[in-house]
């Protein structure tokens, strides 16, 4: 039962991580306007995402505009897009595969060894998906930090970490922990020894040879 509970906990954590991947990718708040230094303009806030840029007015109204062309985007944005999409895809595949290997499902319950291997395979996919999202968000966040501390960057064009980055980091950690729990839930292979030969059979066969 402990092994089944560990599997269920890992699957739920990884599932929450995959949901966070989708939310993080769709959010426009990957970076937002910074009001550090002498920048005191607070009438509107600028949000930059992977798919669109938005302007938040002081009245609470938000206006967003999607990017017109993919080729005009920075290399970091294109690479982050690719990694996030790969993370979502791998997380979805890991969710489907791990569901077949869970002990609470009826699929392949006759072959427990194969069922456990399938659960481990799903956990590995969750690990790779979490690492992809973690690399994407960390890379994007490092670019924001470099531009913020760059003395040649104008104060009114500096940005800070957006809410999407924090959601991405938390989701990546959940997926990695969940995938690790699924990998650790595989039961140890027990060594089986052939049954010892009966002493009576050996004696009987020996008696026949003498006759």
pLDDT of the residue at 1: 44
Element (H, E) at 142: helix 112-149
Find out whether 162 and 18 touch, Cβ atoms under 8 Å.
no
CA Rg value for the chain: 27
Domain 2-29+72-186 has CATH 3.90.550.10: no
- DSSP 8-state code for residue 157: G
Name the residue ranges covered by the structural domains of the chain: 2-29+72-186
**CA atoms of 108 and 24, how far apart (whole Å):** 35
Partners of residue 54 on adjacent β-strands: 47, 64
Largest CA distance in the chain: 111
Single pTM value for the model:
0.80
What are the angstrom distances between the C-alpha of 30 and each of 81, 102, 112, 136, 165?
12, 35, 44, 11, 6
Nearest of 131, 104, 141 to residue 30 by alpha carbon: 141
pLDDT of the residue at 109: 67
Dig out the tokens for 180 from the structure: 């690790």
Q: 3-class SS at 172?
A: helix
The torsion angles phi and psi of 159, rounded to 5 degrees, stand at -125, 160
Q: Is 1 exposed, middle or buried (0-12, 13-18, 19+ CB in 10 A)?
A: exposed
**CA atoms of 186 and 103, how far apart (whole Å):** 11
**CA atoms of 177 and 20, how far apart (whole Å):** 14
Tens-level pLDDT at each residue, the chain (211 residues): 447 778 889 899 999 999 999 999 999 899 988 766 554 555 678 888 899 888 887 777 888 888 887 777 888 889 999 999 999 999 999 999 988 888 777 776 677 778 888 888 999 999 999 999 999 999 999 999 888 888 877 777 788 898 999 999 999 999 999 999 988 866 555 544 455 555 444 544 444 444 4
**CA atoms of 74 and 97, how far apart (whole Å):** 35
């Amino acid at each position: 039962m402990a092994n089944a509970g560990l599997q269920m906990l890992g699957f739920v954590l990884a599932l929450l991580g995959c949901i966070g991947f989708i939310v993080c990718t769709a959010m426009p708040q990957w970076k937002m306007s910074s009001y550090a230094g002498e920048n005191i303009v607070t009438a509107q806030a600028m949000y930059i995402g992977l798919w669109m840029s938005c302007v938040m007015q002081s009245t609470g109204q938000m206006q967003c505009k999607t990017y017109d062309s993919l080729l005009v985007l920075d290399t970091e944005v294109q690479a982050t897009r690719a990694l996030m999409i790969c993370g979502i895809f791998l997380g979805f595949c890991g969710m489907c595969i791990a569901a077949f290997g869970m002990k609470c499902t009826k699929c392949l319950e006759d072959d427990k060894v194969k069922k456990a291997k399938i659960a481990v395979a799903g956990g590995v996919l969750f690990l790779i998906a979490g690492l992809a999202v973690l690399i994407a968000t960390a890379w994007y966040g490092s670019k924001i930090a470099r531009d913020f501390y760059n003395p040649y960057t104008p104060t009114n064009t500096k940005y800070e970490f957006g809410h999407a980055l924090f959601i991405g980091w938390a989701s990546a950690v959940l997926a990695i922990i969940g995938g690790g729990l699924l990998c650790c839930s595989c039961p140890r292979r027990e060594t089986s020894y052939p049954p010892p030969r009966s002493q009576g059979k050996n004696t009987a066969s020996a008696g026949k040879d003498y006759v």
